[in-house]
Amino acid sequence: MLLTGADIFAEVLVEQGVDTLFGYPGGAVLNLYDSLYHYRDKIHHVMTAHEQGAAHAADGYARATGKTGVVLATSGPGATNLVTGIATAYMDSIPMVAITGNVGTSLIGRDSFQEVYITGITMPITKHNFVVRKVDELADILRDAFRIAQTGRKGPVLVDIPKDVTSAKAEFVPKKPQIPEMHTYIEQKDLEQAAEMINAAERPVIYFGGGVSASQAGEELLELARKAEIPAAYTIMAAGVLGYGDPLNMGLLGMHGNRTTNWAVNEADLVLAIGTRFSDRVALNPDQFAKRAKILQIDIDPSEINKNVEVDHSLVGDVKQVLQQLLPLVKPAKHPDWMALVQSWQAQDYHPKNSSTRITPHQLIGKICELAGPDAVYVTDVGQHQMWAAQYIRHIRPRSFLTSGGLGTMGFGYGAAIGAKLAVGDRPVIHLTGDGSFHMNLNEACTAVSYELPIITVIFNNTVLGMVRQWQTAFYEKRYSSTDPHRKTNYVKLAEGFGAKGYHCESVAEFAQAFEQALKSKGPVWIECVIDKDEKVLPMIPAGGTIEDMIMD
């Protein structure tokens, strides 16, 4: 059938299973929006307050579901406003298709109104990007974009569509989505060598990351851990893969990980790194990381092997499929002495003190977990509150802790919470943020109000840029340069101005009452919690340090 480029765009979205799209209209994409009007019974378009919010919403939708998030923006500033959101998705390997409009093909390169070279700008932060030059190429390019986003190591893809391509016509032939199944083949000798390393280990540790979530390999990971009795530590991107309270779950690893996980890696004779990349927030000093251990790495991306830390052996492929092939070769084992040592370290872990007179972060998060229930999805911004959340939330299921791990994007949270809420339906979505991060994109409150999304935002308000101030305290002799913005924001009045509900709390008891009311709300709620500006995220290993440099108080 003969269709315009705009209708081909909509048809391919439907064909690819897209039912939710985040975006903001503008001149270069008017034809696309006109087509979306006619397809509104099949594609739910969510208009955000800002294109960055739309990108984060598409990202949050993808993180919560595993599907490809889709965002649409116009040319020029609309396109450039997506850049931070695309980079956030790229650093955390989140599948996303970003579609931008552009000036007509005859105007490209003439510094036309709202023209930018968006494919050049985003080339370093996408898996691939395309400029569509002819309407008869549009359908297959869009299909390729969805395939690339989900194939191998997942990530964002950008498609730039000039305006005249959206109005031109071409023959459209429907096709079924073609996301090829990945078939990981590992040489038998490599599998046997990996299994021998595991079977011979006396002090093994599993260190796993977001790749386990991406490949939905949680069951296989747990089976391996239990079969060979291997205690496990996770990165911030893998929270929830192993349930809170599982005896083999040691907790968060790295700069703000607990004493047990960091000591276990330091004393291990084998570190089995699964779906993780040895980032500088985990392997803070690469030359000293797991220096007593042999390292076996399993990852889908061959470029991650030996990139940050030299490993002794590696298996490259989809984590789920690699573990399925490896498990039959791993012998059942027990490591009683090693487990006893781990448990002795756990008894010495850092435990913050409770307070009956003020709000402490760990008590606040404990109360949230108690009241929100096991189905809650937590979305954070970036800073101290993010680390407290990673440390203290009782994670029990995958895809329920959404945070910007690699890029560390302040302002990520509200947009991502909107995307997550639209993805998970009736499950509670709790947005945890600091006053610094929240000010960056709090304008997305109008989106949550417009779409009647009952997102509960908990603001850890210490009136300063807490994480930067913590570093200034520890490493800059308390020279607090530009970390106290002296803001006078009244969050209750501001929430009401947006059409949301706001609360101000100075005790955990006040918070509990407010949170219980928020859980009954049919729209967004903000709960401001007053936190002491000298609260610290502990423990902490300084950048470039080792376990010997850990700060406990």
Q: Dihedral of the CA atoms 228, 229, 231, 232 (nearest 10)?
A: 40
Active-site option among 15, 47, 114, 196: 114
Q: Helix, strand or coil for residue 315?
A: strand
User: Which residues of 329-442 form beta strands (DSSP E)?
Assistant: 377-380, 401-402, 429-434
Annotated active-site residue in 11, 16, 22, 51: 51
Portion of the chain with pLDDT greater than 90, in percent: 96
Query: What is the CATH architecture of 361-530?
Result: 3-Layer(aba) Sandwich (3.40)
**pLDDT reported for residue 527:** 98
Mean of pLDDT values over 505-514: 98
Instruction: List the one residue out of 105, 256, 214, 113 whose CA is nearest residue 167.
Output: 105
Q: Which two tokens stand for residue 272?
A: 């089995």
Q: What is the DSSP string of 432-490?
A: EEEHHHHHHHGGGHHHHHHTT---EEEEEE-SS-HHHHHHHHHHSTT---S--------
Average per-residue pLDDT for the chain = 97
- Of 237, 250, 255, 467, the active-site residue reads 467
Kindly list the distances between the CA atom of residue 220 and the CA atoms of 232, 242, 269, in Å, as whole numbers in the listed order.
Answer: 13, 11, 22
3-class DSSP assignment, residue 206: strand
For the segment 540-549, the average pLDDT, to the nearest whole number, is 94
- Whole-angstrom CA distances from 506 to 289, 356, 503 are 41, 11, 10
pLDDT at 330 over 80: yes
Q: At how many degrees (to 10) do helices 361-372 and 384-392 cross?
A: 60
Identical topology for domains 2-171 and 188-346: yes
Any idea which fold 2-171 has?
Rossmann fold (3.40.50)
DSSP β-ladder status, 69-73 and 96-102: parallel
Backbone phi and psi for residue 74, each to the nearest 5 degrees, phi listed first: -80, -175
pLDDT > 80? residue 336: yes
- Which whole number is the average pLDDT over 177-194? 88
For residue 245 the two structure tokens come to 């309270």
- Hey, is 128 helix, strand or coil? strand
Average pLDDT over residues 302-309: 97
Residue type for 274, please? Answer: I
Both tokens assigned to 503: 């609360």
**pLDDT tens profile 519-539:** 999 999 999 999 999 999 999
Q: What is the C-alpha to C-alpha distance for residues 349 and 16, in angstroms, rounded to an integer?
A: 48
In this model, does residue 125 exceed pLDDT 90?
Answer: yes
**CA atoms within 13 Å, Cβ hemisphere of 523:** 15
Summarize pLDDT for 466-493 with one digit per residue, the tens. Answer: 999 999 999 999 999 999 999 999 999 9
Q: What is the pLDDT of residue 179?
A: 66
Joined together, the tokens standing for residue 451 give 């779409």
- Closest residue by Cα to residue 209 from 140, 153, 268: 153
CA distance 42 to 18: 9
What is the chain's alpha carbon radius of gyration, rounded to the nearest angstrom?
24
Please report the pLDDT score of residue 423 as a whole number.
98
- Whether the bond between 539 and the residue before it is cis, its omega within 30 degrees of 0, is yes
- Residue 114 is among the residues annotated as catalytic for this protein: yes
Note the pLDDT of residue 107: 86
Q: In the chain, where are the structural domains located?
A: 2-171, 188-346, 361-530
Q: Which CATH architecture has domain 188-346?
A: 3-Layer(aba) Sandwich (3.40)
**DSSP code, position 459:** E
Q: What's the pLDDT at 454?
A: 98
Give me the phi and psi of 85, to 5 degrees please.
Answer: -65, -40
Tokens for 283? 């392997």
Q: Is the pLDDT of residue 377 over 80?
A: yes
What number of helices (H) and strands (E) belong to the chain? 22, 20
Other Cβ atoms closer than 10 A to 193 = 15
Q: Is 467 a catalytic residue?
A: yes
Residue 367 has pLDDT above 70, yes or no: yes
- Give the integer Cα–Cα distance in Å for 257 and 363: 18
Candidates 67, 127, 154, 163; catalytic one:
163
Which of these, 38, 26, 53, 20, lies nearest to 455 by C-alpha position?
Answer: 53
Catalytic residue among 1, 113, 123, 188: 113
Q: Is 172 helix (H, G, I), strand (E, B) or coil?
A: coil
Residues 6+ apart with CB under 8 A from 520: none
pLDDT digits (tens, 9 = 90+) for 90-99: 999 999 999 9
Active site residue 11: no
Does residue 182 carry a pLDDT above 80?
no
Four-residue CA torsion sign, 171, 173, 177, 178: negative
Q: What is the pLDDT of residues 388-431, one digit of tens each?
A: 999 999 998 999 999 999 999 999 999 999 999 999 999 999 99
User: Span 24-40, mean pLDDT?
Assistant: 98
3-state secondary structure of 21: strand
Q: Are strands 156-162 and 96-102 parallel, antiparallel or unpaired?
A: parallel
